[in-house]
Chains A and B, each alone.
Chain A
């Protein structure tokens, strides 16, 4: 196979970090090539250089053996390179067609020739089996469909080389399968795909070859068929990684949380929870599995006091806590890891020490009359930063400047550092790399080992399988089935998640 892209000795230095250190990458025409690495390994930097968003300090880029120098994405697009970013660049109130022609509008006389564009786009969508409706408005279509619109945009602009930046992070398992189908189909049609990810499973499932990056350097490029997840993990992290979390054996104790016949609505006022009942006991981890949008978000919001319920009853150690406020629930000893830490978990513009007390700003020992005892706050925060290995070890930096993994450590440090009775964790490893995920899982197991109750909500089935003592599957706002993780398989659970029956 001839190589379509060669990047030789690419160096990119940012003020405080060497993001790419003499990186070599060779991509063959018509392959799916994975770029694997932890957050901050330099994958995205390398691809942003290839896409013309960053300029490299030294090194060469060759496309079909011809050296190129891009001054911006426009040059990259002209050379047949396209990129699907993690955040889509689509205008919600425009239709698919209007979004796609933006920047290169076809005109007839003085008016837009939308009909011609629509036909062209419909043909492309059909040819590549993308199933996109050209006249649909972006705001009305699902996230998975929006991603396909982005892919269609690349095709419409004649891209031969397509870069996907962590495309699965926002998709449901079903949408991931469909994305894989589309990627395979694109490959069959001669397109070259570079796939950025930090998930080993994805590398194994979809790629022909994989290049592993760590700390800005290439560790190796290998054929996927000749490797296994363990070897890849070791290359990526630089040490052995345990995939199975060590579950501590804890005696299951008294019932802590009891939810009876819970009904609640979602943001738009439509029924989201339709009679959920469950309970969690001391020392027990109960995992909620399900496809996104089946009521998990609302369930967690109810349990953290952010959403009022219509009907039902929630009790903690037999005390009725239905419709308590967030503050009351915090004081009752319910810890909460929100699904979106940047939105609900942290105040990004606040110092670490201010974030580490959010929720107990009015409690002892930080309360001194009307005054917030900053000396105590800082002492306490310094300890937490040390205990939970938050980097940098500086409580004066803003939370927003931390990496995703360290931001999650701040949330965990805050929530776990007090006497809790129940932990409600929603997608605790979302967006985290292997190392940080391992940390989070070990911390949750520590809470279990201390005899606390844990309710774990996750879209990652493997996470639920690994950590839970019992698995409940939620579908359309109802618990559909209960599984023992030792006696079931992912596919069995997956069937119920999709609305099937056991």
Chain B
């Protein structure tokens, strides 16, 4: 058992080193580009943590990243790449908004629940398609999910376009009507947009962890992911679990979108997600594909997203710099194994080499 603990300490250390190196790299790039890195980083931190509003925004961005990452992990544990989270988020948003403004007169708790279930079902449906094509015909899920993204984006643009069926006639904006108050997720911090969604996200992280590592379904899903041939010989219905994984994956994409609409925007407009579905992939990798680990990495990404606004305003550094840093984090994560092994090898050679 002690070995397992050592291993997880080591991996956590690896992640921290990768993050540190990425910021160091960003520091150097900022310096070369003629910015003052201290000011830039200072405003980044100040933006995310220096004010009540900034901190709330950090958690607001963290929320959909957690949901999205849970989706990514569920597919990944079954050996599948769900590249369709951004589309599933869009579908979740559409369903949540529609149910939010069409159903009147429900108690808030019930209305919100209905909207979230609807969003989840929409996302799940968006995952079912590629999952079925993969399981039945062997069509690669990356292709399937990416194609489904385009359908989702265009459906969402059409619905709120000038003559779209969900377009709000009272405004010129390409947006749907506002949802009823009963569908709005309750805000928990006065003067900010922070809502209950963050707790829901953390709660579901534990649910997914339990599902994957403590239930028979999770066991079978992971078995298919690690070796589908042995899983098949072990009596597991491989196509069924592939489809299930994609459905569950899409389901969380849908929830991410639904919660975003019900908690923040209160109405649908095209491309309301600023790329949470894509960031979720990086968040998952940085969180070591663990449903608990991603709480931390989603928070880091939330911090970068929220802080970058002030960084752009004060230090004049483009928000895109944050994309560079997140990219470099992932790069160093990928590098950590070969580099780590190299160092280990050299060290061991020093310890044992030619001394016997």
Q: Which residues of A are at the interface with B, using a C-beta cutoff of 8 A?
A: 11, 13, 15, 57-58, 304-306, 325-331, 336, 338, 343-350, 354, 358-359, 361-362, 366-367, 370-372, 374, 396
Contact = CB atoms under 8 A, between A and B. Distances in A.
Given A343-B229, A359-B235, A58 B216 contact: no
Contacts of A306: 232-233
A9 to B, nearest CB: 10
Contacts of B192: none
B51 interface: no
Contact of B215 (A326, A336, A372): A372
Contact of B352 (A13, A344, A359, A371): A13
Interface string B210-238: 00001111111011001101111111110
Contacts of A336: 233
B230 A346 contact: yes
B216 A15 contact: no
Nearest to A12: B356
Interface of B: 1, 3-4, 214-220, 222-223, 226-227, 229-237, 348, 352-356
Given A11-B356, A362-B235, 19 more contacts: A57-B355, A57-B356, A306-B233, A326-B233, A328-B235, A336-B233, A343-B229, A344-B229, A344-B230, A344-B232, A346-B227, A347-B230, A349-B226, A354-B219, A358-B223, A358-B230, A358-B231, A359-B234, A371-B214
Nearest to A340: B229
B216 A371 contact: yes
Nearest 10 interchain pairs by C-beta: A327-B235, A358-B234, A359-B234, A347-B227, A326-B235, A344-B233, A349-B226, A347-B226, A372-B216, A330-B235
- Most chain-A CB neighbours within 10 Å: which of B214, B236, B356? B356
A361 B222 CA distance: 12
A361 B355 CA distance: 49
B214 A343 contact: no
B242 to A, nearest CB: 16
A344 B231 CA distance: 8
A246 to B, nearest CB: 31
- Most chain-A CB neighbours within 10 Å: which of B1, B231, B237, B348? B231
B220 A361 contact: yes
A13 B356 contact: yes
A13 B354 CA distance: 10
17 contacts: A57-B353, A57-B354, A306-B232, A325-B235, A329-B235, A330-B234, A330-B235, A338-B233, A343-B229, A343-B230, A344-B232, A350-B222, A359-B234, A362-B216, A367-B216, A372-B216, A372-B219
Q: Do most interface residues of chain B lie in helix, strand or loop, or is the interface mixed? A: helix
B232 A326 contact: yes
- Most chain-A CB neighbours within 10 Å: which of B230, B232, B355? B230
Contacts of B218: 372
Nearest to A301: B233
Contacts of A343: 227, 229-230
B329 to A, nearest CB: 25
Given A13-B352, A57-B354, A345 B233 contact: yes
Contacts of B231: 347, 358
B353 A304 contact: no
A474 B355 CA distance: 57
Contacts of B222: 350
Nearest to A374: B214
A363 to B, nearest CB: 10
Contact of B348 (A11, A15, A346, A361): A15
Contact of B234 (A349, A361, A366): A361
A328 B236 CA distance: 10
B352 A304 contact: no
B40 to A, nearest CB: 42
Nearest to A359: B234
Nearest to A354: B219
Contact of A370 (B215, B226, B233, B356): B215
Nearest to A345: B230
Contacts of B3: 396
Contacts of A371: 214-216
Nearest to A11: B356
B223 A350 contact: yes
B341 to A, nearest CB: 12
A45 to B, nearest CB: 14
A336 B1 CA distance: 32
A329 B234 CA distance: 10
Contacts of A15: 348, 352
B226 A350 contact: yes
A331 B235 CA distance: 9
Nearest to B352: A13
Contacts of A331: 235
Nearest to A357: B219
A13 B217 CA distance: 43
B227 A58 contact: no
Contacts of A338: 233
Nearest to B230: A347
- Most chain-A CB neighbours within 10 Å: which of B219, B234, B355? B234
Contacts of A370: 215-217
Contacts of B214: 371-372, 374
A396 B220 contact: no
A193 B56 CA distance: 72
Nearest to A355: B230
Nearest to A329: B235
B97 to A, nearest CB: 33
A329 B235 CA distance: 8
A311 to B, nearest CB: 23
Contacts of B355: 57
Contacts of A326: 232-235
B282 to A, nearest CB: 23
Nearest to A336: B233
B10 to A, nearest CB: 15
A356 B216 CA distance: 14
- Most chain-B CB neighbours within 10 Å: which of A330, A358, A362, A371? A358
A20 B199 CA distance: 57
B148 to A, nearest CB: 29
A418 B280 CA distance: 44
Nearest to A328: B235
Contacts of B217: 370
Contacts of B235: 305, 325-331, 359, 362
B247 to A, nearest CB: 17
A349 B228 CA distance: 12
B215 A348 contact: no
Nearest to A368: B216
Contact of B216 (A348, A349, A361): A361
A412 to B, nearest CB: 15
A31 B219 CA distance: 54
A340 to B, nearest CB: 9
A215 B333 CA distance: 38
A289 B237 CA distance: 32
